[in-house]
A and B are shown apart, each in its own frame.
Chain A
């Protein structure tokens, strides 16, 4: 239990996928202009990342390792993620139209969100067991949700700021992300490796 809590805290705060591993920067820059859409994207990521990590762990350890074909893992992982996104989209559309309206446009984008594939690859590298991998996927998603919400709130305030024109949009977002990353490094002592 203690390990699981540590995995959660480390994935959300100290080793945030966006700030530490640079994963999911594209949606992070693209969808962080408004808080509503940022939260929608974040929740969709939590959902898919948890499921993707669970499935990828099962495939990797029950099929690829016994058959000794781990070099196929990239091809299989991306297929799993792409089809998972399709299935989630269909299920959500069938059973919860309001949720579909809220998440709908973000789901297809998730296929190319490198954070999902990144989390799956990291879980293999870190040699997590099944439960740890699922928790890792979930907390990685929560970390993404957290940071994209923070960013969107900052950017909404920035709308009213007077800043040099070349910095408007992506440039200032990147600089602020850098500052956020510095701030979050201050939490590094929270967990001793």
Chain B
């Protein structure tokens, strides 16, 4: 249970450990992109931590990072082909950021720090918690940026025609600034405790 809380809040992968920021910033231009990305990360994180945890005793220490990278890359290839086949629009919108899940530090970090020392079941719980933690930040960030940047959420217009969109929210600059404020908010809440 503690382990679950750690992933979702106290040891949050994005806001506390600052891992996997690249994809977070890149795909949160809309809520749908954020959801697809979260699903991709969830799938890759859960599958690869389970595999890493199963093979932890037969992988030589020296080449373990390369082995983990290959395991992760395999699952990323699977999810990339899956997206391309079933959701071609989403796949195009996410662009190179789906293959870039391979080098998402959250996944390699959890493989190295957790799955390589724990049982497959514990690794599964850990991966699940971390993906939920990752997902909620992406969903919030994606909703805020889409709402301010185009006056809509998931493609549904919210603000109506009179709304003058705050275009900067959709630009890279907006991503950096909003995520900066989210990290600061997280620090503030934790400091108050």
Contacts and interface: CB of A to CB of B under 8 A. Distances in A.
Interface of A: 19-26, 29-30, 71-72, 74-75, 78-79, 82-83, 111-114, 116-118, 121-122, 125, 164-168, 170-175, 177-179, 181-182, 185
Given A22-B26, A117-B102, A111 B69 contact: yes
27 contacts: A20-B172, A23-B22, A26-B20, A30-B18, A71-B77, A71-B81, A74-B73, A75-B73, A78-B70, A79-B66, A113-B103, A117-B99, A118-B103, A121-B99, A125-B96, A164-B184, A165-B187, A167-B180, A167-B184, A167-B187, A171-B187, A172-B184, A174-B180, A181-B173, A181-B176, A182-B171, A182-B173
Contacts of A20: 172
Given A26-B21, A72-B77, A74-B102, A181 B183 contact: no
Interface of B: 18-23, 25-26, 65-66, 69-70, 73-74, 76-77, 80-81, 95-96, 99-100, 102-105, 108, 168, 171-177, 179-181, 183-185, 187-188, 191
Main secondary structure on A side of the interface with B? helix
Contacts of A125: 95-96
Interface SS majority for chain B:
helix
Given A174-B179, A175-B176, 16 more contacts: A19-B172, A20-B172, A22-B22, A22-B23, A26-B21, A72-B77, A75-B70, A78-B102, A117-B100, A117-B102, A118-B103, A125-B95, A177-B176, A177-B180, A178-B175, A179-B177
Given A29-B21, A118-B96, A175 B181 contact: yes
A174 B183 contact: yes
A47 B126 CA distance: 36
B57 to A, nearest CB: 22
B18 A26 contact: yes
Contacts of B187: 165-168, 171
A112 B105 contact: yes
Nearest to A25: B21
B175 A22 contact: yes
Contacts of A166: 184-185, 187-188, 191
A71 B98 CA distance: 13
A103 to B, nearest CB: 18
Top 9 closest pairs, chain A to chain B, by CB:
A174-B180, A178-B176, A178-B177, A175-B180, A171-B184, A166-B187, A166-B188, A181-B173, A171-B183
B103 to A, nearest CB: 4
A167 B74 CA distance: 38
Contacts of A179: 173, 177
Given A117-B99, A175-B176, A182-B168, A26 B183 contact: no
A19 B179 CA distance: 14
B102 A185 contact: no
Given A25-B21, A29-B18, A78 B103 contact: yes
Contacts of B96: 21, 118, 121-122, 125
A30 B183 CA distance: 15
B74 A75 contact: yes
B171 A185 contact: yes
